Chains A and B, each alone.
Chain A
Amino acid sequence: MRKKLTVIPERCSGCRVCELVCAISHAGVNNPKKANIRVISLYPHPVIKMPVVCDQCKKPQCRDACPADAIVVTDGVVTILEDRCISCHACVSACPIGAIFVHEDIETPFKCDLCGGNPKCVAACPKKAILYVPEHTLGQAHRLVSALQYANMQEVEYFEHGEKKKLRYAEIETGGTRGDSREH
């Protein structure tokens, strides 16, 4: 089963522990500017924090942009082959989310390698904002929200051990079509 890294920006506190553990384990130094993951914190226009890390695209634009054929996909990991790389940074510009990084001390661009299948940032994130999940579950959260937002729900109230409770359900043939009946 192949797994993917995914982030939940709403949870991120911007503490940058992910950057620290990544830089220490990959670059061997205490320098978050050498990490393969970066937290972007914007405020107050708009207010958001987001860890940015490689999605390991299956048809990676960075690979397509590389003039030296230095980027390959191996076992689901997009890898920059340092000996082939000419460090032109075409991949850095090509990545649609900015997940390939450079630093003046380091000869070639660098990016997430999933730590060989056990990503350190996931274990270290104090807010559980970075997840490593089976590929087929990506999008599950949005599907769940979609179901919960379905507007044509019925409600019954009942008592259990003297406590008032509510149950929501969708009854056969009472709604419209899903698209025009979601709450916003």
Chain B
Amino acid sequence: MKVLHVDMSECKTHVEEVDEEFALKYIGGRGWGARLVWEHMKEGTDPLSPENIIVIAPGPLSGLYLPSSGKTSICSISPTTGIYGDSNIGGMFGVELRQAGFDAVVIKGKAPDLSYLWIDDDDIQLKSAGKYAGMGSIETEHQLREDIGDETVKVASIGPAGEKMVKMACITADWGRNAGRTGMGAILGSKNLKAIAIRGTRDLPVADLKRLTRLSDKAYKKLSQHNLFEFWQRQGLMSVIDYANTAGIIPTHNFKDTHFEEADKINGDVMELEYKIGDTACFGCPMACGNVNLVKDGKYAGTVIEGPEYETAAMFGSNVGVSDFSAILRANYLCDEYGIDTITAGSLISVMIEAYEKDLVTLEDLDGMALNWGDDESVMEMIRKIAFREGVGDTLAEGAYGVIERWPQLAPIISHVKGLDQSAYDARVAMTMALGYATSDIGAHHARAWPIAKELEMGGNWDLNEKADLVIYHQTVRPLFDMLGVCRLPWIELGFDENTYAEFFSAAVGIEFTLEELLKLSNDVYNLTRAINIRLGLTRDDDRPPERVFNDPIKTGPHAGKVLNRDEFREILDIYYQRRGWDVDGIPTDETLKASGLEDAIEYMEPKRKAE
């Protein structure tokens, strides 16, 4: 297995072989990324400086014949949060990287001029990207393919926001797939790396292809027989709008409420019947959750976009009070083309609308543009201002921390953890969700834990121990998918047996692994990212859910009046630390680190303990 190292400053690349011990200990994807970040990091390094590295790593299952094997992790120290950050991306990009012969790319330094990386199997070149400067992500991808002269080349790129190091900038691949969270696009921007184009033709290694084929033939068949399979293909994650609204967890008016009166104007049915023109799937995925939508008339006519999925529809729908689905599509398109994260952008725009409503900011602060709930045109203008760092957009481009620095009075109404804005699930209705956000290693994102549905469904009588255990289980199994390079949706949405992934992995590498063994390795990586974060100054105080969770009872809907209790949260955090083998300050104990094979982290934890 090979890692491609790219030094942008020296304009040099070299290839390193990965030894088997490393490969199997960290599996791939997020595991490899976290370990490589750990080995290169230095305290005090600015995430946007040339010294920070960014790792792009598919997993050992990426590109193989098994359901939904198109995932790639992108890992670094995040400019949004200042701690470990990663975001995963679907599509085909990582598969092509593996077919070119690389299981990861590690990028450091800063090119003198805007460049792109061209990986044509083992022919690697850094080329000028001058002609793509300022170009949107979707257009960049289109143009690069055209210039290379091969429509099958896979491209990941940043838009103008990434070039301007907007801290919510994402990396876009395969037109509509985004590594959206934690500002990974800003890091590419800081390195003057506009895009990576790949063409790979190699066979992917599979130790026992017959066994894999047998397993996967069955797996695809099983998924296709699920009673929600076809519905999933039709609506994908857009079906979550109705669920979240009925369950009372949909973010509404900047997370003030959890129920949106006009949800039936922005749901999966509206999309399917009025806007959808086609399906899109990531590599090898039968579920095809992607929806290509087109606005056929009205002021946004001609807007075509892969998306939205649930998060985007909620953040640019209910959360900003917009009930016009074509406006959501437009917002989605602008975010993708400029290259910014729809969750953070939607969240911070809704914060500013509420701030203006409550006179917490002046019209002057907003460059003279009044912001009101449901005013879609001002939402579009705010997206543009963030992406190009204009006026108030320049402050929002710094993320939650930047907004709070300028307007400390907004801190109570920004729903974030560690500087990363919360995903589109309200945490007030479920302690597990609050704990999941609070202890997620990258900030308030649902990728690590999404226990909310289970708690709402059956958690009425759970004690805090059971709740903490569920969060830890989620934080162990969900990141495992990111390590393997596959999507978790067949498991979480269609009930696909997670044990099968251990069999897929065993067939791929030729060594038997059980799910328990893989989960242990995933837990080890969680301890590793915790160690990274502790090294970077994270403390117990940072492990807290958004303020609104404790201060601001839900006003309407099925959970009206609901708010979480601060003392109870303190209590569950103690339990959570204890069960993870972390001390009362949230620092992994020596025993825990040893058990995770992270002896080299011990020396870095000791000074932090003494400082307490």
Interface residues, chain A, with chain B CB atoms under 8 Å away: 10-17, 20-21, 24, 28-31, 33-34, 40, 42-45, 47, 49, 103-105, 124, 126-127
Please tell me if the beta carbons of B201 and A104 are within 8 angstroms of each other in the complex.
yes
Please tell me if the beta carbons of B220 and A126 are within 8 angstroms of each other in the complex.
yes
Q: Does chain A have a CB within 8 A of B284?
A: yes
Please tell me if the beta carbons of B279 and A44 are within 8 angstroms of each other in the complex.
no
Q: Does chain A have a CB within 8 A of B465?
A: no
A49 surroundings in chain B (CB, below 8 A): 278, 280
Given A24-B209, A31-B204, A44-B138, does the pair A15, B151 have CB atoms closer than 8 Å?
no
Give the nearest-CB partner of A103 in chain B: B201
Chain A at the B interface: SS class: loop
Query: Can you list 19 A-B contacts with CB-CB less than 8 angstroms, sorted by A residue number?
Result: A12-B279, A13-B285, A16-B92, A17-B286, A30-B203, A30-B209, A33-B200, A43-B142, A43-B175, A43-B306, A44-B138, A44-B304, A47-B292, A126-B223, A126-B285, A126-B287, A126-B288, A127-B233, A127-B279
Given A13-B233, A40-B151, does the pair A126, B224 have CB atoms closer than 8 Å?
yes
Point out the residue from A15, A21, A45, A124 that lies within 8 Å of B142, measured CB to CB: A45
Q: A17-B65, A31-B201, A43-B306 are in contact. List 11 more A-B contacts (CB 8 A).
A: A13-B280, A13-B290, A15-B286, A17-B220, A29-B203, A30-B203, A31-B204, A42-B151, A47-B278, A49-B278, A104-B201
Q: How distant is the Cα of A14 from the Cα of B220 in the complex, in angstroms?
A: 16
Q: Does chain A have a CB within 8 A of B247?
A: no
Q: Does chain A have a CB within 8 A of B213?
A: yes
B280 surroundings in chain A (CB, below 8 A): 13-14, 49
Q: How distant is the Cα of A13 from the Cα of B70 in the complex, in angstroms?
A: 14
Give the nearest-CB partner of B200 in chain A: A33
Q: How distant is the Cα of A62 from the Cα of B175 in the complex, in angstroms?
A: 34
Given A31-B99, A44-B142, A126-B224, does the pair A15, B285 have CB atoms closer than 8 Å?
yes
Interface centre among A42, A43, A127 (most CB of B within 10 A): A43
B287 surroundings in chain A (CB, below 8 A): 126
Q: Does chain A have a CB within 8 A of B485?
A: no
Q: Does chain A have a CB within 8 A of B281?
A: yes
Q: How distant is the Cα of A62 from the Cα of B281 in the complex, in angstroms?
A: 32
Please tell me if the beta carbons of A28 and B209 are within 8 angstroms of each other in the complex.
yes
Interface centre among A16, A104, A127 (most CB of B within 10 A): A16
Beta-carbon contacts under 8 Å, B20-35 to A: none
In order of increasing CB-CB distance, the 6 nearest A-B pairs are A126-B286, A15-B281, A13-B288, A13-B281, A13-B279, A29-B203
Q: B395-411 toward A: CB 8 Å interface, digit per residue (1/0)?
A: 00000000000000000
Q: How distant is the Cα of A165 from the Cα of B400 in the complex, in angstroms?
A: 56
Q: How many A-B residue pairs have CB under 8 A?
A: 92
Q: Does chain A have a CB within 8 A of B481?
A: no
Point out the residue from B224, B281, B284, B288 that lies within 8 Å of A20, measured CB to CB: B284
A42 surroundings in chain B (CB, below 8 A): 151
Q: How distant is the Cα of A17 from the Cα of B233 in the complex, in angstroms?
A: 15
Give the nearest-CB partner of B290 in chain A: A13
A24 surroundings in chain B (CB, below 8 A): 65, 209, 213
Nearest CB of B to A113, in Å: 19
Give the nearest-CB partner of A44 in chain B: B304
Give the nearest-CB partner of B333 in chain A: A44
Q: Does chain A have a CB within 8 A of B144?
A: no
Nearest CB of B to A130, in Å: 14
Given A24-B209, A126-B224, does the pair A31, B284 have CB atoms closer than 8 Å?
no
Q: Does chain A have a CB within 8 A of B321?
A: no
Q: Does chain A have a CB within 8 A of B283?
A: yes
A21 surroundings in chain B (CB, below 8 A): 65
Give the nearest-CB partner of A9 in chain B: B278
B175 surroundings in chain A (CB, below 8 A): 43-44
Beta-carbon contacts under 8 Å, B240-299 to A: 277-288, 290, 292, 294
Give the nearest-CB partner of A43 in chain B: B175
Please tell me if the beta carbons of B65 and A20 are within 8 angstroms of each other in the complex.
yes
A17 surroundings in chain B (CB, below 8 A): 65, 220, 284, 286
